[in-house]
Amino acid sequence: MSTTYSLKLHDDSRIPALGYGLWQVPMATSAELVSRALRTGYRLIDTAEAYYNEEGVGEGIRDSGVAREEIFVTTKVWNTHHGYTQTLHAFDASQRRLGLEWIDMYLMHWPSRTRDAYVETWQAMIRLRDEGRVGTIGVCNFSIGQLQRLIGKTGVKPVLNQIELHPYFQQKALREFHHEQGIVTQSWSPLGLWWQSPDPNSSPLQAPRVLELSERYGKTPAQIILRWHLDSGLATISKSVRPERIVENFQLFDFALAPSEVRMLAGLDRRDGRLGPDPETADF
């Protein structure tokens, strides 16, 4: 796999910095969109058992014409399959649905506070990695305390934590902990859009500072924000079901923000910026 625009994980593997995500992408269109994304240039495909489109993702990978070894595939175990044996079975099922000989990264989708089995789930994921069934392992939506417990109980650090992160919700304390531990931060909802948002016009896409940079660079507000993620040292997952937006969201590599501009957007952080569930209180 090319190391261009990729990040090194603490186990010495690498992950593309920009990925195409499949959340809320219907099974019926997932194969076509994955194939299109890969032909556009994306090399990271991010799905999950809870997205109900793994079969389409595998089909799109096979139809894309891109060599499998050039593609980094991530899927995730859902909360209802937490526990040691359940996680092993969930991985087998995801691999069957994807129809792939190997999976590059397996993530725990949420810590599932109410089930309180994420340590056992992580132990099963360690086994999958050690047996060579998956390339590397990480988590999503873990807080500092949850990461500390996971590492303390098993001695194994996730290579990555995929979290909600956008200009209005930057999770600076968590990112600093990641940096100290050598854990890569990967952003979901990088544009600050959420399916339950009461007012889409209140997103960072409408922020005056973003619009100023959009005009300065001749780029869309979405491109400015996605480039901000990359220039902040973050991996990020973009998503769209519109072919033109899939292309647009990948056109980030012919410009870069100045350090002062990165800091300017870092100043947009808000105390009330979270859109999705809080891992410390979520009960699903």
Catalytic residues, which ones?
51
CA-to-CA separations, 196 to 199, 239, 262, 281, in angstroms, rounded: 9, 16, 28, 18
CA gap 265, 150 in Å, rounded: 32
The response to whether 89 counts as a known ligand-binding position is no
Nearest alpha carbon to residue 255 among 227, 226, 225, 215: 227
Cβ neighbourhood burial of 161 (10 Å; 0-12, 13-18, 19+): buried
* Token duo for residue 107: 């993530």
Answer yes or no: are the C-beta atoms of 71 and 103 closer than 8 Å: no
CA gap 155, 149 in Å, rounded: 10
Radius of gyration of the chain from its Cα atoms, rounded to whole angstroms: 18
The binding site comprises 109
Annotated binding-site members for substrate: 109
